[in-house]
């Protein structure tokens, strides 16, 4: 029900914060940060399987990334792409999958922090609300 409500309200995704992970990855790897707006659109899906496991996936239908040209040639950003094994033509799908993995990890982390009530206490403990 909340997913339908999110999309009916005009939200570009039903997750908690896909733009955060995407922005971090874009800055680190020389992507065009202006594309975060389109790239952060996503569909987070979760279900409990028949075996009792939690299955969670993210679909990012308009992720805009590159592994050659532009900012990917900057020294530090290129080094980050090299560490990921994503430099040059033919590696963009691998890079897109890594970005999606970062987004999914962030969604899992924030969801766990909120559901365990650690999110607010962590902000209080480390001074975010001071």
CA distances from 61 to 41, 43, 82 (A): 7, 8, 25
Distance CA 44, CA 51 (A): 21
Determine phi and psi for 128, rounding to 5 degrees.
Answer: -65, -35
* Confidence grade of residue 22 (pLDDT, cut at 50, 70, 90): very high
Query: Is the pLDDT at 117 greater than 90, yes or no?
Result: no
Helices (H) and strands (E) in the chain, counts: 6, 2
Residue-wise pLDDT tens digits, 36-79: 999 999 999 999 999 999 999 999 999 999 999 999 999 999 99
| Domain tally, the chain | 1
Q: Is 130 part of a structural domain of the chain?
A: no
Q: Is 126 part of a structural domain of the chain?
A: no
* Confidence grade of residue 127 (pLDDT, cut at 50, 70, 90): confident
CATH of the domain at 105: 3.90.770.10
Q: Is 2 within 8 Å of 16 (Cβ atoms)? A: no
- Which residue range forms the structural domain that includes residue 94? 2-120
Structure tokens at 107: 């969604």
The label of the residue with tokens 């409500």 reads: 5
Q: Is 113 part of a structural domain of the chain?
A: yes
- Mean pLDDT (whole number) for 4-16: 85
Q: Is 128 part of a structural domain of the chain?
A: no
Higher pLDDT, 64 or 3: 64
Structure tokens at 3: 């997913």
Cβ–Cβ contacts within 10 Å for residue 123, how many? Answer: 13
């Amino acid at each position: 029900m909340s997913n339908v409500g999110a999309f009916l309200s005009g939200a570009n995704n039903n997750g908690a914060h896909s733009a955060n992970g995407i922005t971090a990855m874009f800055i680190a790897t020389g992507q065009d940060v202006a594309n975060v707006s389109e790239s952060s659109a996503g569909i987070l899906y979760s279900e409990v399987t028949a075996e009792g496991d939690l299955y969670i996936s993210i679909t990012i239908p308009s992720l805009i990334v590159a592994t050659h040209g532009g900012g990917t040639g900057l020294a530090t950003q290129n080094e980050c792409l090299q560490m990921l094994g994503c430099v040059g033509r033919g590696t963009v799908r691998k890079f897109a999958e890594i970005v999606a993995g970062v987004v999914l990890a962030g969604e899992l982390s924030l969801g766990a922090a909120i559901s365990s009530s650690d999110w607010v206490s962590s902000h209080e403990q480390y001074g975010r609300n001071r």
